[in-house]
Amino acid sequence: MKYTIITLFSALMMLTTKAQVVPNPYPKTINVTGSAEVEVIPDEIYVQVDLKEYEKKGSGKVSLDKIKQEFLTHAKSIGIPDSLISIAAYDAYNANPWLRKKKKKEEMYATISYQVKLKSSPQLDALVDKLNDDATENFFIQRTAHSRLAEYRKELKIAAVKAAKEKAAYLSEAIGEKVGVAVTIQEPVEYYMPYYNQRVSNMMMRVEAGSAADGAAQQPATDFTKIKIKYDVTVTFALQ
């Protein structure tokens, strides 16, 4: 039994010794960070339009059904199909207490919020021009995006890794070394800055649209703030 214990202990020591003397395959390395970025004009603009029932002098309350039909018809007339319009909220509320007292009746006024997907600022201007001022309660840009974001992300990640290798090459040459294989590549860190949740009143949009049209000959065309996408990736290379 004693002999068996000594044998096992000796075998364990031999294995431990062998594990300790395994050489480091990459004794010399260099860590570098590569970056790649792009700025693109968004081609997906998501806006929210809040519509409400209202009182029309001589005609009474204008129903929400009529308001919805008018809005969808106007949207279609400027190239926005129903498939790009979705309902964001549906609600109802009591009218002003003073009006209820004057009419001597309880009446609910319905509201509906639409999310509309647009493709350009001219199309946004066209939609604003079609809005019914009496029925429109709010109008604001929720966010912007781009239809090729997935492609841009893949291309930028690849470009960031290539930039890291290029940087490692010239830094290594400065000390008489050469870049070998990549030892580790960390997942790129994304910096993404879209245009987001900018509330704009209907009247302001109309004034700006009119000013842009009046001064189009003197001023360059403007568009949405560009979406900025940037990737930083850290790569460790072996030195030869």
CATH topology of domain 44-145: Alpha-Beta Plaits (3.30.70)
- Distance between CA 54 and CA 99 in Å, rounded? 12
- Distance between CA 124 and CA 207 in Å, rounded? 14
What is the per-residue pLDDT across 100-131, written as a single tens digit (0 to 9) for each? 455 555 677 899 999 999 999 999 999 999 99
- Distance between CA 50 and CA 114 in Å, rounded? 6
CATH topology of domain 21-41+147-195+223-240: Translation Initiation Factor IF3 (3.30.110)
- Contact present, 229 and 160 (Cβ < 8 Å): no
Query: Is pLDDT at 223 greater than 80 in this prediction?
Result: no
Check residue 26 and give its pLDDT.
87
Q: Which of 85-99, 150-164, 205-219 has the lowest mean pLDDT?
A: 205-219
Reported as a pLDDT band with limits 50, 70 and 90, residue 12 is low
Query: Is pLDDT at 148 greater than 70 in this prediction?
Result: yes
Reported as a pLDDT band with limits 50, 70 and 90, residue 17 is low
Higher pLDDT, 219 or 144: 144
| C-alpha radius of gyration, the chain, whole number | 32
Check residue 43 and give its pLDDT.
93
Average of per-residue pLDDT across 14-36: 79
CA geometry: angle 134, 54, 197, nearest 5 deg: 55
Compute the CA torsion angle 164, 152, 144, 196 (nearest 10 deg).
-10
What is the per-residue pLDDT across 167-209, written as a single tens digit (0 to 9) for each? 999 999 999 999 999 999 999 989 998 866 544 444 444 444 4
Average of per-residue pLDDT across 205-224: 49
Displacement of CA 44 from its chain's centroid (Å): 10
Query: Where in the chain are the domains?
Result: 21-41+147-195+223-240, 44-145
Task: Kindly write down the DSSP assignment for every residue of 25-66, as one continuous string.
Answer: S-SSEEEEEEEEEEEE--SEEEEEEEEE-EEETTTEEEPHHH
Query: Is pLDDT at 16 greater than 90 in this prediction?
Result: no
- Distance between CA 177 and CA 224 in Å, rounded? 47
- Distance between CA 22 and CA 124 in Å, rounded? 66
Q: Which of 231, 155, 141 minimizes the C-alpha distance to 194?
A: 141
Reported as a pLDDT band with limits 50, 70 and 90, residue 217 is very low
Query: Is pLDDT at 38 greater than 70 in this prediction?
Result: yes
